[in-house]
Structure 1
Amino acid sequence: MRRILAGFLVIAFLDACFTGRSPVVEKKTSVDQPTEQTFTNPIGKGADPWVIKYKGYYYTCYSSSGEKGRSGISVTKSPYLTKLGNAKIVWSSPESGWNEKNIWAPELHHIGKKWYIYYAGGKGAPSFINQRAGVLESVSEDPQGAYVDKGVIKTGTDDNDYVKTIWAIDMTVGKINKKWYAVWSGWEKNNTTDKTSQHLYIAKLLNPWTIDSERVKISSPDQNWETGGPLDLNEGPEFLQRNGKTFIIYSARESWTKEYRLGQLKLKGGSDPLKPESWEKKGPVFEGTDKVFGVGHASFTTSPDDKEWWIFYHTKNSTDHGWDRSICLQPFSWDNKGEPVFGRPLPAGTPIKKPSGERP
């Protein structure tokens, strides 16, 4: 959940509390003339960063200010992983409807010949009890072109609900053994308070906007490193795949606290993704330090020459409760078992070698 200023880019994004969707603002540096061999974090201001590489460009996707003061979604394009690039508003929320407010954590995915943006939106009261998952479909093959709204996605059945489905945010999609699946953070049932624990669910997709199976809960905040705060959460799931192995890297604890961190689910080889016992939990796999706070909601990509893997994540700017956060980027490796090794988040200002193959 853009205004292009002369000389540099400033990308302004909405602040939605609860899960901490906050503004994202790129550093005031030109994307056209990077000259240093290193860069430093943060590379921007904001939260819930999403990046995808396609045909030599990196596209990021953010909640933003839309047209006529409404909420919106913008997509950036850049040849540099370390520079966000030019942004275009690709969709604005309707004046009324289930998705009129609180546009959170959009993700851009290329499926077939179209682009799809998965996002959370809501309606009405500011308590965020109406958040649901939706999807947009591109009109063309241009990820920065126009999109049409394909509607709310049915993430469970509730005949008494205003859109007949169950609370859901942070939807992502991935392909396992030639089949597409959706994973999201949701409630066990709809509630009258947003102080409700969140779990991770998976379901098979019939097409990019239609769930084709019953949802299956694959993770709850049940480990000691996932609990202990004001509200135990599992959210922000993202697929990470390499050499036939599938992982879901997700966020645990509360996004507004310094304890926000990443956990991991690993799909057992040859197992059915729709069975809870097919997933092995491990964590925390990436967490804050005495200098870096509230590490969470990451996405993943490779360097321009595909020789390196990079994690794109956000951190809190202080230990105070709240959603003042920044966007960071650093490389990670893989161990001899084929599992990701994220290491420790580097403090702001630490020189980091630029991604392999990133042109000057």
Structure 2
Amino acid sequence: MIQLKVRQLSSVLLVTLLAVNFSGFAQPTFSNPIRDGADPWVFQKDGEYYYCASQGGGIAISKSNKLTDQGEMVQVWKSPDSGWNSANIWAPEIHFIEGRWYIYYAAGSKSGSPFIHQRSGVLRSVGRDAFGPYEDLGMLYTGDHIGDSASVVWAIDLTPWQPKGRMYAIWSGWEENRDTDKTQQHLYIAEMSNPYTISSNRVKITSPVEPWETGGPLNLIEGPQMLERNGKTFIVYSTRESWLKEYRLGQLTLREGADPMVPESWLKKGPVFIGNDLVLGAGHCSFAKSPDGTEDWILYHSKKTAQPGWNRDVRLQRFGWHADGSPDFGTPIPAGVAIPVPSGE
């Protein structure tokens, strides 16, 4: 515990010193948390940051030239009054693919718990404007029998990945549909024929089996995010329970030249980012470059109190890279510490 306190104080001192440049003039800074919310998503395109979140029974988008300020959120899609996606809109992501904007999200047919009806769906912009309008392209297939559309299985946090002309979907799901949401979650991958069609059966690539992924009331793996650099591919995911302070990040690394549809192609490491007594339950992240492209930043959420629940806020900090080419996320920076704004902002 004493060593942990020393490391935390050292991190605070280092960040504070970085906030002042060599000429003695204070640089612009910000401090965490940057806003209320959870499951932060950012997509970077043409010098702008596009943010996406569930809001008011639908999905909202904002655009900003800053990482520290997402700007005003505007609702671009409202869930229907009935149907599979009429309730529980979770963790949407916006992506620009082949000249259109796509929003991937999870939803259910019944409001509130138990959350046993969650499935993944996709929206597509009618034109090239991120603010819509959007057309609902329906539910994505996340099951084991691609010829039977009714055999879709519980799925959340779906994200697309496009390596070398291929396309895949990666998400968190159950092994089978259950009548209780106290069900273990795993990470799955499947091939996509286009941004709105999954064209293969799913493959389970990892489960919560490591000591740092287990030990709570319900062991979960969710929120997969792709991170690529210098030919290396990583899936950074959240594990443990999202409503507890033990929420954290793990990492999968794709073996060089390996088939991503083969579970043995992925090497697990973790935890790669974990909270402490000053920042609780650090998880569910997304990534972006600084405005000038010279820095890497992680956007994530944390719990406001140690009590179980989903009262969370959003945080932002810079990260680096280990000598082996893997990301070095460091430790969560405590609230109120002055952090230099992203380079170019």
**Fold shared, TM-score > 0.5 on shorter chain:** yes
Confirm or deny that 1:116 pairs with 2:107.
no
Change (3 A) 1:209 1:235: same
The answer (yes or no) to whether the contact 1:158–1:166 under 8 Å persists in 2 is: no
Corresponding position of 2:132: 145
| Alpha-carbon RMSD | 1.5
Confirm or deny that 1:136 pairs with 2:131.
no
Give, as a single letter, the amino acid of the residue that structure 2 aligns with 1:59.
Y
Corresponding position of 2:35: 44
The answer (yes or no) to whether the contact 2:88–2:110 under 8 Å persists in 1 is: no
Quote the offset at 1:36 in angstroms: 6.6
Structure 2 counterpart of 1:83, from 62, 66, 69 = 69
Give, as a single letter, the amino acid of the residue that structure 2 aligns with 1:103.
I
Q: For 1:177-216, what aligned pairs fall within 5 Å after superposition?
A: 177-216=164-203
Quote the offset at 1:136 in angstroms: 0.3
Corresponding position of 2:256: 269
1:173 match: secondary structure: strand
Give, as a single letter, the amino acid of the residue that structure 1 aligns with 2:92.
P
Quote the offset at 1:158 in angstroms: 7.0
Corresponding position of 1:319: 306
Give, as a single letter, the amino acid of the residue that structure 2 aligns with 1:60.
Y
Quote the offset at 1:177 in angstroms: 2.4
1:277 match: secondary structure: helix
1:176 match: secondary structure: coil
Identity of aligned residues (%): 57
Query: Greater shift after overlay, 246-255 or 143-152?
Result: 143-152
Give, as a single letter, the amino acid of the residue that structure 2 aligns with 1:61.
C
Confirm or deny that 1:237 pairs with 2:228.
no
Change (3 A) 1:169 1:314: same
Quote the offset at 1:157 in angstroms: 4.2
Corresponding position of 2:327: 340
Give, as a single letter, the amino acid of the residue that structure 2 aligns with 1:42.
P
Give, as a single letter, the amino acid of the residue that structure 2 aligns with 1:349.
G
- TM-score w.r.t. length of structure 1: 0.86
Following the alignment from structure 1 to structure 2, what is the Cα–Cα distance between the partners of residues 305 and 117?
Answer: 26
The answer (yes or no) to whether the contact 1:43–1:82 under 8 Å persists in 2 is: yes
Structure 1 counterpart of 2:237, from 247, 250, 254 = 250
Corresponding position of 2:155: 168
Structure 1 counterpart of 2:79, from 66, 69, 93 = 93
Give, as a single letter, the amino acid of the residue that structure 2 aligns with 1:260.
Y
Corresponding position of 2:9: none
Query: Greater shift after overlay, 77-86 or 300-309?
Result: 77-86
Quote the offset at 1:124 in angstroms: 2.1
Corresponding position of 2:342: 355
2:264 match: secondary structure: helix
Give, as a single letter, the amino acid of the residue that structure 2 aligns with 1:320.
Q
The answer (yes or no) to whether the contact 2:27–2:340 under 8 Å persists in 1 is: no
Following the alignment from structure 2 to structure 1, what is the Cα–Cα distance between the partners of residues 196 and 242?
Answer: 27
Following the alignment from structure 1 to structure 2, what is the Cα–Cα distance between the partners of residues 87 and 251?
Answer: 25
Number of equivalences:
318
Quote the offset at 1:212 in angstroms: 1.4
Where in structure 1 do 4 or more consecutive aligned residues deviate above 6 Å?
none
Corresponding position of 1:9: none
Give, as a single letter, the amino acid of the residue that structure 2 aligns with 1:62.
A
Instruction: Structure 1: give runs of 5+ residues left out of the alignment.
Output: 1-34, 66-70
Change (3 A) 1:97 1:36: farther
Change (3 A) 1:99 1:162: farther
The answer (yes or no) to whether the contact 1:98–1:163 under 8 Å persists in 2 is: no
Corresponding position of 1:293: 280
Corresponding position of 1:59: 50
Confirm or deny that 1:328 pairs with 2:328.
no
Quote the offset at 1:144 in angstroms: 1.4
Give, as a single letter, the amino acid of the residue that structure 2 aligns with 1:289.
N
Following the alignment from structure 1 to structure 2, what is the Cα–Cα distance between the partners of residues 62 and 145?
Answer: 15
Query: Greater shift after overlay, 172-181 or 112-121?
Result: 172-181
Larger radius of gyration: 2
Following the alignment from structure 2 to structure 1, what is the Cα–Cα distance between the partners of residues 232 and 137?
Answer: 31
Following the alignment from structure 1 to structure 2, what is the Cα–Cα distance between the partners of residues 157 and 214?
Answer: 5
- TM-score w.r.t. length of structure 2: 0.90
Corresponding position of 1:15: none
Quote the offset at 1:162 in angstroms: 9.5
Give, as a single letter, the amino acid of the residue that structure 1 aligns with 2:194.
N
Corresponding position of 1:72: 58
